[in-house]
Structure 1
Amino acid sequence: MKNMTESVASIGRSAKQQLILTAERLYARHGLDGVPLRQISSEAGMANKSAVQYHFGSKPGLIDAILVNRVEGLTHRRSLLEARLPPGDLRRVIEAHQLPLIELGEDEDCHYLPFLEQLVQEMHPLDNLPETHRASERAYYARVGALITDVPQPLRDIRIHQASSTCLHVCADRHRMRALGMTVTPFALHVSQLLDSLVAQLSAPPSDETLATLRSVPTDRPTLRALP
């Protein structure tokens, strides 16, 4: 029944869109190096087995297309949520940025979060993301950083990056559990508890050990990759 549902859902999609969604699903399940381009074309229902190369030029071009397909919607939803932010509320700032990503994990037909996990592990270059997304990420770092000034740099940026990674991995793991038919926490509790954890992760006072270590090591700000 699921295969019939997927087949019906694919009607009306362009060839490029069908390739993008098929690749997202296969990469999420098998890894970026575990799926030949011809397999993606075949499972997307393309008669031309070189359809990926025709539409995207290469595997990196396809991966960039998967990112853009999701990032544009994420950035737009974030901008709408951020427009209603009250001043000085760290939890609401985190929620406005992370909730759109959290919501994707609830769609059983969306495989973006486990795909993104694979992408982060493989260190795929993110140079071709839209400027609107990169500007959104910079604004998020600045907005959160201004609310955790008791945490010195470069710890501030490190924590913001680690909190985003935590959110990704928690939600990707929940997506996998739901796909396996396992019982998961109700969505409202999942979101509330996750936001509590992220606030604590970002705002906890650094230990004396961490502060002493910070004083003893180079203080150049590390290179951090914004998560799509």
Structure 2
Amino acid sequence: MQAAERLVAERGLHGVRVSEVVKEAGQRNNSAVTYHFGSWEKLLFAVWDSHTIPINIERAALVADARDHDRFDLQAMMRAYLDPLVADMARHSPSYWARFSEQWLATINLDYLTLDAEAEADQPRTESVMVVHALLMDIRDALHHLPEDSRDRRVALMGRYVIGALAAWEREDDPVVPLDDLRRELFSTALAVLQAP
């Protein structure tokens, strides 16, 4: 899983052959991915789940706390979206998760919150995905200053901005900006993206 995550993060979903992942993982059996995961797609979903499950457990706790204290506003929603992503990156050294996510985002429509059913078949459909989807829908519903038909796109743009910035940070060999400083700046600028007219 680590080999697949790193190679996809560095070269994209379509730039990696299964045989390269097998070799990078130190496996001799060319069928190792099929044996352990069933398919290349299931391996990618396993990588996805290895990050999104803990991230979305943290998100669900932040959402529940904000709701319990009647503070579930746009700022609380953005903290619930961003802070667990950054915390996950901080747990891994080096981190590849933002770059992996960026590669996945590069393969889907701009307005990924409103994909059609056929396109959705290519997306992970785990319970953890539903947590972030519900949070993104809450963010969308809080954008009262925008016409309804542009709210999904604005949330999708914000998500691409956040993931792209975090991926750029991961690519730096010796980041100039500490991750927590980047988190604070991203919080402000992503909020501005959402609140812009």
Shift of 1:29: 1.4
Is 1:117 the counterpart of 2:109 in the alignment?
no
- TM-score (structure 1 length as normaliser): 0.72
SS in 2 for 1:83: helix
Are residues 68 and 126 of structure 1, via their aligned partners in 2, closer, same or farther at CA, if it must alter by over 3 Å?
farther
Q: Which has the higher contact order (CA 8 A, sep 6+)?
A: 2
Deviates more, 1:151-160 or 1:184-193: 184-193
Shift of 1:157: 1.4
Are residues 58 and 114 of structure 1, via their aligned partners in 2, closer, same or farther at CA, if it must alter by over 3 Å?
same
Deviation per residue, 1:108-144 (Å, 9 max, x gap): 333121112112223385444213422x234213322
The structure 1 residue matched to 2:88, chosen from 87, 104, 108, is: 104
Q: How many equivalent residue pairs?
A: 182
Is 1:150 the counterpart of 2:145 in the alignment?
yes
The separation in 2 between residues aligned to 1:158 and 1:34, in whole angstroms, is 28
Identity between Structure 1 and Structure 2 (%): 27
Alignment gaps of 5+ in structure 2: 109-118
Q: How is 1:195-210 mapped onto 2 (pairs within 5 angstroms)?
A: 195-205=187-197
- TM-score (structure 2 length as normaliser): 0.82
The separation in 2 between residues aligned to 1:196 and 1:171, in whole angstroms, is 14
Deviates more, 1:138-147 or 1:58-67: 138-147
- Report the structure, 1 or 2, having the larger helix content: 2
Partner of 1:67: 48
Deviates more, 1:144-153 or 1:94-103: 144-153
Deviation per residue, 1:153-182 (Å, 9 max, x gap): 1121111111111110000101111xx22x
Root-mean-square deviation (CA), in Å?
2.1
Q: Is the 8 A contact 1:78 1:96 kept in 2?
A: yes
The structure 1 residue matched to 2:127, chosen from 119, 125, 131, is: 131
Partner AA of 1:118 in structure 2? Q
Q: Is the 8 A contact 2:9 2:99 kept in 1?
A: yes
The structure 2 residue matched to 1:140, chosen from 135, 143, 153, is: 135
